[in-house]
Structure 1
């Protein structure tokens, strides 16, 4: 992954983190890219009375396949087995515009 793609991924993580932080008011603090053993957790919300919620964000201009999705989710669970909730957020980019089938001369 190049610099442009990496920057897009970090931007997506930041936006998702901010937006989802407004949805729940029960978290104590949140971390982007927390230090985990296998580095699969992109965002973690920590709570006072429960285990954390961990999220991995995937962005791609290509379609996601079920085997890849399953592998990413299993890797996320293996990386942070103490979480109470796991989320895999898939973001497609560069959706093709509908082509104009009518041409004008």
Structure 2
């Protein structure tokens, strides 16, 4: 499953409209830099504290969890976001970023 996140990347319309581009790119980068084998489901829990954005990135298999916290020039986002890796009919990998409630 190493190539799982190597194909096309998609986002839902809502992610495109509501999640700042900086955060979209940050989440994709978290997946790219994952130091363990990647599960097909990546989970991000976003919250805020003042001007700080807090992001908890986790997956189930193998277990992984990492927390990031940094200042942002916009209101911190509070959301649960999934990035799901799949294969199309031609066995080409792709991944989709969506809010958990869109699943």
TM over 0.5: no
Name the structure where strand makes up a greater proportion of residues: 2
Band of TM-score, shorter chain = 0.3 to 0.5
Task: State the TM-score, normalizing by the size of structure 1.
Answer: 0.34
The structure carrying a bigger helix percent of its residues is 1
TM, length-normalised to structure 2:
0.35
Query: Which is greater in Rg?
Result: 1
